[in-house]
Chain A
Amino acid sequence: MEYRTVLTTCTYCGTGCGLLLEVMDGEVVGVLPAKTHPINEGKLCIKGWNAHEFIYADGRLTKPLVRKGDTLEEASWDEALETIANKFAEIKKTNGPDSLGCFSSAKCTNEENYLLQKIFRAAIGTNNVDHCARL
């Protein structure tokens, strides 16, 4: 049995509490508040204490899916990425770069937000980039 804790930041609200994920044999089994964290000082709210529960919930997406008619079917990463590349290229060619856009995510990391806006601004050529900051 291997047990370890990993110090990280809570994924719920913008307060940014420090927490420890308890990992047993490669699976997150619990959460502990980080005692020395300057924001939460050893405390967590009900969402923070249960921040690990959704990780293993039913319905996690585990494979890329591509629509075939009315259904979404499992596909390889290569097929999914190729579908995106072809379709985006086709739309851009016919309607121009401003006919494409993205909603980025306040749940994702700084690095991921940077990459998505870079894809749309630099690779596609549009500033149609927004996220749910207003919602």
Chain B
Amino acid sequence: MTNSVPEFEDADCILITGSNTTSSHPLIASRIMKAKEKGAKIIVVDPRKMHIASLADIYVAQNLGSDVAWINGLMRIILQEGWENASFIKERTEGFEELKKAVAEYTPEKVEEITGIPKETLKEIAKIYATSEKSSIVYCMGITQHATGTDNVKSLANLAMLTGQIGRPSTGVNPLRGQNNVQGSTDLAAIPNVYPGYQPVTDDAIREKFEKAWGVPLSPDPGLTVVEMINAVEEGKLKGLFVLGENPLVSDPDSNHVEKALDAIDFLVVQDIFMTETARKADVVLPGASFAEKDGTYTGTDRRLQKIRKAVEPPDEAKADWDVLCRVGKAVGGKGFEFASPEEVFREIAEVMPIYHGITYDRIEKEIIHWPCRSEDDPGSPYLHKDGFAKGKGHFTPIGYKPPVELPDKEYPYQLTTGRLPFHYHTGTMTRVSPSLTHEVNEAFIEVHPTNAFEIGVKNSQVVRLTSRRGSVNAKVIITNDVKKGVVFMPFHFAEAAANRLTIAALDPIAKIPEYKVCAVNIEKIEESEA
């Protein structure tokens, strides 16, 4: 997030797209509700009419995967009406002329045709967003989980820069991160192309710095992403895999493909707290600790560092994960794994990572710190880009609309989109063993528009078979107007009816994120005896 969570409360306009905020980030949704009480206009653009849409001043459903088109359409209207922030564009950005040219063809008529958003609504959204004093954009996986995910995010950045809605409190472009420490694990370089603190592995000076810090020569070649590693197993190039606290067999796209890869791999190590579907396939399983059984830090979605504190001991022979990893590091012959506590590890982190440089355990006991925090007297950065962008000028990227990779056809006439429920979490390894949460919902379902339910010939709670080019699953039908005609929705928490047996592993070329949010499926009624 460019801005911090409490700032939402003082925004004048909040544009929410691709985020089921009330369900996936309830305590951020409550800030948005407070903003509304104080008079903010809430705009929701999402293919599904979720709870947050019922609070919106304007709600509109776009066609799946049409985001670049409506955002370009907004920018065209903003330029036509003179609602852009000319001084911000002049002083803080570059590439404006190219952007202007790129959005020119996105006339309201054309945008309506691609996205299904009526041109009057588009104009209303453009006006409120551009002319409010402080407008904030909130997005989540509905924007990123597309083969055009990077294009979608850059389009939102274009929109914020065009209107100067960034670099001030209560504005900005704000992705809500799904997992407790997805921001931190990215900061700490659990990604293939950088060292901790977003320092490229391909940069010679940076690599030398880390070679000195870690006392070994390092590889200058960027590594593979999750989906690429699964493919590399199939090609026989990747022979050994260490999986820490993840369940790729359920969370990754095209699970049948992942299962084959995990069956084929020479050596699989899984470190987890439960015997997950992935752990069952392992050659070595290491028992780790839950958040209540260890110390450490998480970095929240708004770059805020917070401690977790050990309350009880891990069960039996299980150990805190940091301790296990120090042992693994030493066992495989690594140097520099002699840490006696997470705090000692953190001291090394702060040393090698300029954006965490000023952060210590003592400081985060007493104060709220958002990175970048570069020295002990730096208070940190609740919002970014105050006096300029990190890379100098903000660069407008001209972007054209591309349709989703797999469009509906005769054989697979419906579009499937996937998502989360308020009661469950990712692949359900934690929530589906929690009695209070399974009491709410404990089985997969599929949301279908009434017209489509009539076509298929099913009633509420009847079981259907969904089939895509990659696999098939059975699920109960919920008939609802919350999805558009032709679109069906399925939560992905349930391994026994895993939505990811159906999804497509088409990747965004830059972020390598899979297109979970759009694929083509067929739906058939199945007889009671088969169900």
User: Complex formed: what's the CA distance from A86 to B243 in Å?
Assistant: 17
Q: Which chain A positions have C-beta within 8 A of B368? A: 38
B331 touches A134 (CB 8 A): no
Q: Which residues of B contact A124 (CB under 8 A)?
A: 332
- Would you call A81 and B328 a contact (CB within 8 A)? yes
Chain A residues with CB under 8 A of B363: none
A130 touching B225 in the complex, CB below 8 Å, given contacts A111-B296, A111-B346, A115-B322: yes
B223, A111: Cβ atoms under 8 Å? Answer: no
Contact flag A65-B285 (CB < 8 Å), given A54-B290, A88-B332, A114-B345: yes
Beyond A8-B307, A134-B225, whether A67 also contacts B284 by CB under 8 A is yes
Instruction: Check: B274 CB closer than 8 A to any chain A CB.
Output: yes
The answer, yes or no, to whether B238 is at the interface (CB within 8 Å) is: yes
A130 to B182, Cβ gap below 8 A? no
Distance (Å) between the CB of B425 and the closest chain A CB? 6
- Of the candidates A39, A61, A67, A88, the one whose C-beta lies within 8 Å of that of B288 is A61
From A114, which residue of chain B is reached at the shortest CB distance?
A: B188
- The reply to whether A39 and B27 form a contact with Cβ atoms under 8 Å apart is yes
Look across to chain B and name the residue whose beta carbon is closest to the beta carbon of A22. Answer: B311
Partner-binding segment picked from B60-68, B409-417, B506-514: B506-514
Interface size of A in residues (CB-CB distance below 8 Å): 98
B190-A113 in contact (CB<8A): yes
A15 touches B5 (CB 8 A): yes
Contact segment of B212-220, B388-396, B469-477: B212-220
Known contacts A13-B179, A64-B285, A131-B226: A116-B242 contact under CB 8 Å: yes
Chain A 61-100, CB-CB to B under 8 Å as 1, else 0, gives 1111111000010000100111111011101001101111
Contacts of A44 in B (CB 8 A): 27
A35 at interface, CB cutoff 8 A: no
Residues of chain B within 8 A of A57, CB atoms compared: 274, 433-434
Question: Which of B201, B243, B248 has the largest number of chain A CB atoms within 10 A?
Answer: B243
Q: How far, in whole Å, are A60 and B70 apart by their CA atoms in the complex? A: 47
How many angstroms from the CA of A40 to the CA of B328 in the assembled complex? Answer: 37
With contacts A15-B25, A115-B337 taken as known, whether A107 is within 8 angstroms of B179 at the C-beta atoms is yes
What's the least CB distance linking A43 to chain B, in Å? 6
Q: Does A17 contact B (CB under 8 A)?
A: yes
With A16-B306, A121-B218 as contacts: A127 and B318 at CB distance below 8 Å? no
Find chain A residues with CB under 8 A from B280 CB: 72
A84 with B437, Cβ < 8 A, contacts A103-B246, A122-B216 known: no
A109 near B342 with CB under 8 A, answer yes
Residue A32 interfacial (CB < 8 Å): no
Chain A contact residues, majority secondary structure: mixed
Residues of B within 8 A of A80 (CB): 284, 286
A10 — which chain B residues lie within 8 A by C-beta? 180
Residues of A within 8 A of B216 (CB): 122-123, 125
**B184 proximal to A (CB < 8 A):** yes
B246 CB to closest chain A CB (Å) equals 5
Contact B345 A54 (CB under 8 A): no
Contact B312 A130 (CB under 8 A): no
**B318 contact set on A, CB distance < 8 A:** 60-63
A77 to B285, CA, bound (A): 10
B95 at the interface (CB under 8 A from A): no
- By a CB distance below 8 angstroms, the chain A residues around B322 are 109, 111-112, 115
Q: Of A7, A54, A118, which is within 8 A of B433 by CB?
A: A54
- Determine whether B287 belongs to the interface, using a CB cutoff of 8 Å to chain A: yes
Given A54-B431, A88-B240, CB of A113 within 8 Å of CB of B290: no
In angstroms, how far is the closest chain B Cβ from the Cβ of A77? 7
User: Is B267's CB within 8 Å of the partner chain A?
Assistant: yes
A28 to chain B minimum Cβ distance, whole angstroms, is 5
Contacts of A102 in B (CB 8 A): 241-244
Can you list 11 A-B contacts (CB < 8 A)?
A: A8-B307, A39-B304, A46-B26, A105-B190, A109-B342, A110-B299, A114-B345, A118-B329, A121-B214, A134-B144, A134-B511
Q: Which residues of B are at the interface with A, using a C-beta cutoff of 8 A? A: 5-6, 24-28, 30, 144-145, 176-193, 195-196, 201, 210, 214-219, 221-227, 229, 232, 237-246, 248, 251-253, 266-267, 269, 272-275, 279-280, 282-288, 290-294, 296-302, 304-313, 315-319, 321-322, 325-329, 331-337, 339, 342, 345-346, 348-349, 368, 422-423, 425, 430-431, 433-437, 440, 511-514, 516
**Supplied contacts A106-B184, A112-B321, A121-B214, 9 more A-B pairs, CB within 8 Å:** A6-B309, A8-B291, A13-B177, A13-B178, A59-B275, A62-B318, A72-B282, A118-B214, A132-B246
**Residues of A participating in the B interface, judged by any CB pair closer than 8 Å:** 6-18, 21, 23, 26-28, 38-40, 43-55, 57-67, 72, 77, 80-85, 87-89, 91, 94-95, 97-135
Top 3 A-B pairs, shortest CB-CB distance: A123-B334, A109-B296, A16-B300
